[in-house]
Structures are given as structure tokens and as C-alpha cells.
Chain A
């Protein structure tokens, strides 16, 4: 499968714990995006990488959130000290230019 992959697909954690998600983009895509989607809503932009450089961060990305793309390939999104309001689907997308292709998402549940 040459699409965008995300791991894990589901994560259940207790409030206050740290979690990390991984995204593997389509191999030739230099742009990588993270979005968050809550139930019944459209995805909301979190952050964007071009190669290894993080070029834009949303105001939604509080200081508890950090994202990296160390070698310009896969990316990780870490949430520290999780809160119940962090429960959502975290989506990763990659693109060569304008068209963004999404992965299956990681469903986070914070108890």
C-alpha cells in the first residue's frame, strides 16, 4: 500500500498521560500536514511541514502539542499531559503540491 499510513489507529489513555502518534506520508511527497477532527465536524488544521521544516502552526496547537519531521520523511505528533478535550481523530495528510491525501487517522480517547 503506497498511501499515507498512521500508527496507532486507536489510542486510549488516561488524563495527564503523554501520547505520540506517527505518520508515514506517500514517499515522494515533501509536504506533510496534521489535522484534528472532532465528531460531526470538518478537519481543522494543526501544523504543516515542508521536508523537515515546520512552516506553520495553528493557534489550536497549544504548548502541550509538538510535532516533528526529523528527516523529512515520517512525522510524529506528541501530546503531553492529555486532557479530555484532546479526544478527537488526528489526521495526517501529504501532498506534492496542492492535492492533499489523507491517512486513516488515529482515534484518541482520553479518559
Chain B
């Protein structure tokens, strides 16, 4: 059972454009939602995270939008750069839980 669904699987964006990745979850017990960036052959690196008591969080060029009623959240990468080309994973953690449940990943390619 895929508890966190992520889309699209891949996207191509021009340098300077906006990358948007969407995730939907099923379990309302999730209460912590991080996004990770992963380069080939490397471990996932935490980008930004949000809790359901806020609707938006921004850190630099990265913004998470959160819709609790729809059980959806998204990552926006503003002014996308070629160095942002990587695979992005959304994830969810239950309250006082012990494991992250990951989405399937989105491969982003930023063209110069």
C-alpha cells in the first residue's frame, strides 16, 4: 500500500523556471512532512520540512505548500538552476513515529 503518492515521476524545466512537485498522503496520523534532495550515488539530503499547523513554509528558493483538508503538499523550486537537477523525495512521519514513509521520487532536470 503506497501511503505517499508523488507526481510527476520526472520533469524538465528551463533555467530560471519554477519546478513543482506534488505529494498526497492517506494516513491522517502523519504530522511531519520533509522533502529530500538526492544526487546520484549520494544519500538523501534534507531540504525543507513542514508540519500541518502551517500552510506554507519558505526557505530560500524552496517553498512547501500544505493543504491539510486535501491531504496534499507540494514543493516549489523557484528560479531553478542546473545544479538543482536531482531526484526529489517527499516523505511523511507519524506523530511520535519511528520511520519515514517516502514517495516514489521525482527526477528533475533543469536545462541551461
Contacts and interface: CB of A to CB of B under 8 A. Distances in A.
Prevailing SS type, chain B contact patch: strand
A45 interface: yes
B52 interface: no
Interface in A16-49: 31, 33, 35, 40-45, 48
Nearest to B91: A42
Given A56-B98, A104-B43, A98 B93 contact: yes
A107 interface: yes
Interface stretch (B58-66, B74-82, B99-107): B99-107
B12 interface: no
B50 to A, nearest CB: 11
Interface in B18-71: 32, 34, 36, 41-46, 49
A43 B46 contact: no
Nearest to B90: A42
B89 interface: yes
B82 to A, nearest CB: 22
B34 A91 contact: no
A101 B99 CA distance: 12
A95 to B, nearest CB: 10
Interface string A92-108: 01000011111111010
Contact of B43 (A44, A48, A56, A105): A105
A105 B42 contact: yes
Given A98-B32, A101-B46, A104-B43, A55 B104 contact: no
Contacts of B45: 102
Given A40-B105, A45-B99, A55-B98, A99 B34 contact: yes
A105 B43 CA distance: 6
Nearest to B41: A107
23 contacts: A6-B43, A31-B98, A35-B100, A40-B105, A42-B89, A42-B91, A42-B103, A43-B89, A43-B102, A44-B102, A45-B99, A45-B100, A91-B43, A91-B44, A98-B49, A98-B93, A99-B46, A99-B49, A100-B46, A102-B36, A102-B43, A102-B45, A103-B43
